Amino acid sequence: MTFQEQILQGIPNILPKIKLYDLNINHAPKRKDILSVEEKKLALRNALRYFESKHHSELLIEFTEELNSYGRIYMYRFRPDYKIYARPISEYPGKSEQAKAIMLMIQNNLDNAVAQHPHELITYGGNGAVFQNWAQYLLTMKYLSEMTDEQTLSMYSGHPMGLFPSHKEAPRVVVTNGMVIPNYSKPDDLEKFNTLGVSQYGQMTAGSYMYIGPQGIVHGTTITVLNAFRKIKKNPIGGLFLTSGLGGMSGAQPKAGNIAGCITVCAEVNAKITQIRYNQGWIDEVISNLEELVKRVALAKANKETVSIAFLGNVVEVWERFYEENILIDLGSDQTSLHNPWAGGYYPTGISFEDANIMMAKQPELFKQKVQDSLRRHVATINKHVSRGTYFFDYGNAFLLEASRAGADIMAENTIDFKYPSYVQDIMGPMCFDFGFGPFRWVCASGKQEDLLKTDAIACKVMEEIAKSAPAEIQQQIQDNIKWIKGASANNLVVGSQARILYADAEGRIKIAEAFNKAIANDEIGTIILGRDHHDVSGTDSPFRETSNIYDGSRFTADMAIQNVIGDSFRGATWVSIHNGGGVGWGEVINGGFGMVLDGSKEASRRLESMLFWDVNNGISRRNWARNEGSIFAIKRAMEKQPLLKVTIPNAVDDSLFLD
C-alpha cells in the first residue's frame, strides 16, 4: 500500500505483524504499576474497543504484556511501516488543505529526529504526548484525510471523538488534553487516568501539534541567556552558564548558549540523547570525566571561548566539583523535566541511569526518596555558589517547586516565596511578555528550504521597517529579533519541518503574517502554517512560570488561558488546543495554543488580523490589570492603534496609605 492508501485505511482490518521493540530508539521509561486488578481489566477493555471483536482474544494477550512490561498500552503492533516526518503538504491525501496541514504538523511531532520517545508517541518532556496509542494516531489521520472545510474534528486527550458538522469559519480541529476535574489533578491521578487510556499529558506544543524541534526553544533560551547576562551587567563572552537536561526542550540550551556567546556546560545522564544532540550539532563537545571537565572549562574561561559542552553525568556532581575548584558560575539553572520527577524527569545522583530506570518502576517510593535527597543536595550546592556571585534562576521546569516539596533550603526569609526567581518572573516577563513579545512561529508546508529562506527575508524586512518608528521601550526586543532572524539559517536550527521562530508583539506578528499571505498569493512561496509556543504572553496561566510576575493575587487563576483559546476559536484559528499541565506539571498550569493556515486568500488575511490581535492583547490586558508597568504602556499603545479596543486601566494606589 502507498503512504496515501495507508492513511485512508486508518485502523487495518487485518492485523499487521507484531513489531520488534527497537533498541536503537530512545524509549520512555517503564511507568509505575498503579492500577488495581479490576482497573487493569478496564484499561484493557478501553484499549480493545478500537478493534473489531474478532481480534480481541489475540490483542488481549499482547496488550496485557505491554501493560505489564511498560506500564502503558502503546499498541506497538500498529505503528506504521512508513517513515513518519513532515512531508510536503501535497503528499497528504484529503479534501481540506487545512486538514492536510494538521497531518503534516502531527507527523512532525512524531518524527524520530524530533520526538523524544517516538514509539511511545511522546514528543518531549518525558511524557508530553501527541496520542496515547497508535490506534488513536491511525484513526485521527484517517479522519483528517476524509474531512471537509465544513467539519470539525474533536480530540479528547489523543482520542479522536469524531467529525462533527460545522462551517468554514470554525476551527478544523479542537484539542483538549488532561482536562480533568480539579480535585482529581494530582500526579498519581495523571498516572492512573493515562494508564486507563482516558486522559493524557499533552505538555504544550506536543499535544497541540505545534512543536518544531529544539529550535522552538532555542530562540527563547537565547533571549533569556542574553537578558540574564544584561541583568547581572556582564558580557556573555567568557561567562559560564551551567545547567542540565538535553531532552526535547532542554536540548536547546547548548545551541542557545553558543548563539549568546558564552561557555555552556549542560549535564545529561542519558547517553543516547546526548549522542543525538551531538550528532545534530547542538553540542560542540561531550565530556564524561569530571577532571577533564574542570580543565576544559578553565581553559575556555581563560581563552574567552564560545563553546557548548555536554557533561555525561549528574549535574549535582558538577555543581559540587566546581565549588571545590572555585570555578565561578555566572548563570546557573536547570531544565530537567521536574514536572515529572518520579517517572524519569529528574535522575538522582549516586545511581546509574539504568538502575534508576529499574528503581522508578519497581521501587517507586525508594526512587522518590532518592530524587528528593538529590534535590536537597543540589540546592545546598547552588546556595553556596550564589554566595560567591552566581545568578541562579528556575527555568520553568518546577525545579524550585519540587525542591521545596523535598524540604530543600529553597525558601526566602518570608517562608512564602522562593529564594530564586523564575526566569519569567525576573527576565522574560518584565522584559518581553509584558510588552507583548512572545514566540511566534511558522512552518513552510511545501517542505522547501528556499521557502524558509524567503520567509526569513520577509520577516526581517518587516521587523526592520517596524523598528524605524518603534518606541524606545521595545527597541531592544526588536533589535534582538532582527539579529536572530539574520543568523537563523547559518545557525542550522531546522530539525524536522522547515520552520522558524522569533519573538514579536501583535503588530509584528500581524504584519509578518500579512506579508507571508501576500507572498503566497503572488506564488512566491507555498502555504504557511502559523502558530506559537503556549509559553507566551496570553496562552498560559502558570503561577510558577508564565504568570509568575503577576502580583495582584490572580496568578493561580486560569481565566486568561481559557479566554485565549475560546477567543482564538471564533476569530479564525485553524485549530485550537487547551491543556492541563505543560512545562511545570500536571495540575500546576492551564495552557492553550493554536495553529493557523495561510493560503494567500482574503479570508486568511481577515482571520490572521482578527485572531493574532486578540491572541496577544488578551494577555497584555490581564497583565495590565495586574499593574505591570510594561503592559500598561503596551495596552495603551494598542488602544491608540485600534479604536475598537477598550481596556480597563488600573488606578495607582499610594503605598503610604498603608503605613502603620
Query: Residues annotated in the binding site for NAD(+), as ranges?
Result: 125-126, 203, 268, 395, 583
3-state secondary structure labels for all residues of 299-318: HHHHHCCCEEEEEECCHHHH
∠ at Cα 120 (114, 126), nearest 5°?
Answer: 70
| Cα–Cα dist 459/606, whole Å | 19
From 139, 140, 179, 138, select the one nearest 157 (Cα to Cα). 179
How many other CB atoms sit within 10 Å of the CB of residue 658? 7
Phi, psi angles (nearest 5°) of residue 210: -125, 20
- Identify whether the C-beta of residue 262 lies closer than 8 Å to the C-beta of residue 288: no
**Residue whose C-alpha cell reads 522558524 in the numeric block:** 500
The Cα–Cα gap between 140 and 660 comes to: 63
CA–CA gap between residue 228 and residue 75 (Å, rounded): 45
For residues 575 and 174, is the Cβ–Cβ distance under 8 A? yes
**Nearest by Cα to 381 from 426, 337, 322, 330:** 322
Strands (E), 219-343: 240-244, 263-268, 285-287, 307-312, 331-332
**Known binding-site positions:** 125-126, 203, 268, 395, 583
Q: Where are the alpha helices (DSSP H) in 93-205?
A: 97-109, 134-146, 187-196
Vertex 454: Cα angle to 448 and 459 (nearest 5): 130
Give, as one character, the DSSP assignment of residue 347: -
Evaluate whether 492 touches 403 at the Cβ level (below 8 Å). Answer: no
CA distance 174 to 439: 21
Residue 60's nearest CA partner among 39, 46, 80, 81 is 46
